[in-house]
Every structure is written in C-alpha cells, then in structure tokens.
Structure 1
Amino acid sequence: MPHRDLEFRGISKEHLGMYFEELGARRITDSFPFIYSADSWEGQVLSEMEIFFTKIFKVNAIQIRICANDENALDDLIKKYRYKTTRVGG
C-alpha cells in the first residue's frame, strides 16, 4: 500500500485527527500512533514533539502517515488533507 509521511507544525494532533474524520475515516486507537481508517485509505498520527526556536518560542511538530490503495488515490487524499491544514497569515 503506497504511503507518504508528512510533518505539520503549529496544528494540534486533535485537529489533524479531526481532518481525517472529516475525510471519512474513523479513529481506531486512543494513543500514539493514532490510527484513522476508511474504506480505501488509512491515516496515522505517528508522533508529536516540540521544536524550540528560542528559549521562549516553541512550536509543536507532528508526524503523520497517509496510506492509500494506489498512488492516484494517495495524491488525491493528500491534496484534500493539505487543503484542510492550510493556514493563511495576515
């Protein structure tokens, strides 16, 4: 099953999991790795860590994995997921 690993910074693991659910998956596990399963794909929230840019400025970094039945489905799913994670600054 093709898969791709991605990293998101500054978005909570709860929101990242909610985006999997909005795309049609249901949560299978209650601890790391959080696994979300749908008919033809699976999303996983693998880990979370804090990255310090200065002594007081830190941000979370979350690793996720998205798996799908084929490359086309994977590309489409990642496109939809990235749309949900888009943040526009002002």
Structure 2
Amino acid sequence: MEMKDLEFRGINRKHLGMYFEELGATLVTDTFPYTYKAEEWSGQILAEEEIAFTSVFKVNSVQIRFIANNENELEELIKNYRYKTTRIGG
C-alpha cells in the first residue's frame, strides 16, 4: 500500500469529499476521518481547521490522505484529484 497526505486550503470540506465521489468512491464514514473507498484506492479527510493570516483574512485548511495499491495508482489518483481542486483566478 502506498499513502500520501496533502493539505488543501480555501476549499470547502464537503466539496473535497464530493471530488472523491466524482472519481468513483463511496462515502464509508460520516465523521472525521471521513473515509471514501473505491475499488483500487481510498481517501480520507483527516482534519479541518481555520488558519488566520490576519484578524480578518482566514481560510480553512483540510488534511487529506490518499491510499492506493501502488505508486502509479497513487500518482494517478492525486493527479485526478488535483485537477478537480484547480481554481483559475481572473
């Protein structure tokens, strides 16, 4: 089993869970750690916290764990997940 933890900031926790579902996983638990399982991989939303850069500017920080059978599957999962979290500024 291969595993990697990443942090995502400024994206709603529910949206991050929805991205796992869009990639083919099913929600298994509905409390922390939120666990999503697919046939070849799984993902977990481990924690969420608010980070304050100033007294006014605050963003959320979500810790996510990706788990796959091998390194290639893990890299493909993370690539596809990051594609869903891409935000284009304007």
Q: TM-score range by the shorter chain?
A: over 0.9
Matched residue, 1:39 = 39
| Matched residue SS, 1:32 | coil
Percent sequence identity over aligned pairs:
64
How far residue 56 of structure 1 moved from its aligned partner, in angstroms, is: 1.1
| Matched residue SS, 2:72 | helix
Q: Residue 16 of structure 1 aligns to which amino acid in structure 2? A: L
Structure 1, unmatched stretches of 5+, are none
Counterpart CA distance in 2 for 1:34 and 1:65 is 10
**Number of equivalences:** 90
Counterpart CA distance in 2 for 1:68 and 1:4 is 9
Counterpart CA distance in 1 for 2:75 and 2:57 is 34
How far residue 78 of structure 1 moved from its aligned partner, in angstroms, is: 0.5
Aligned-residue Cα RMSD (Å) equals: 0.4
Asked if 1:56 corresponds to 2:64, the answer is: no
Matched residue, 1:78 = 78
| Matched residue SS, 1:78 | helix
Structure 2, unmatched stretches of 5+, are none
Asked if 1:2 corresponds to 2:2, the answer is: yes
| Matched residue SS, 1:6 | strand
Normalised TM-score (structure 2): 0.98
